[in-house]
Amino acid sequence: MMMLLFFFTFLIGLILTMVLNLVSKKTFSDREKSSPFECGFDPKNSARLPFSLHFFLIAIIFLIFDVEITLLLPLIMTIKLSNLMNFSTVSIGFIVILLIGLYHEWNQGALNWSI
């Protein structure tokens, strides 16, 4: 029964997504719309500034480790509910996985600011 309810919910969501994509207002982008307006003259240089890929990688690594910290915080509350051996095994395993990921990022050079 629960699987049937999940299937119908998924099917309704899929149908709504397809209908909304068909009905929604389409935006057409051309060269004139994407170029910046400079008093009717052609722009002197590109309005798009180059984006630092290194900054993006640091931001992604920060987000990943931030999410992992939020996964570690509930482990404190589970000390009372589980025995110490299971708790320490899960905690140490999770921290070891985090440290292996950190070592891999460090070894790949993603944490170096000099390019």
Q: In which residue are the tokens 């600011």 written? A: 113
Q: Is residue 70 part of a domain?
A: yes
Q: Are 28 and 72 contacting, i.e. CB atoms less than 8 angstroms apart? A: no
What does pTM read for this prediction? 0.46
Taking only the tens place, the pLDDT of each residue in 73-90 is: 888 888 888 888 888 898
The total number of structural domains that make up the chain: 1
Q: Are 35 and 45 contacting, i.e. CB atoms less than 8 angstroms apart? A: no
Q: Is residue 16 part of a domain?
A: no
pLDDT tens for the chain, residues 1 to 115: 788 888 889 999 999 998 888 887 665 555 666 666 656 666 566 666 677 777 887 888 888 878 888 888 888 888 888 888 888 898 899 889 888 988 988 898 877 766 5
Could you give the CA distance from residue 110 to residue 107 in angstroms, rounded to a whole number?
8
Domain hosting residue 61, numbered range: 53-115
Q: Is residue 10 part of a domain?
A: no
Q: Is residue 64 part of a domain?
A: yes
Question: What was the pLDDT predicted at 76?
Answer: 80
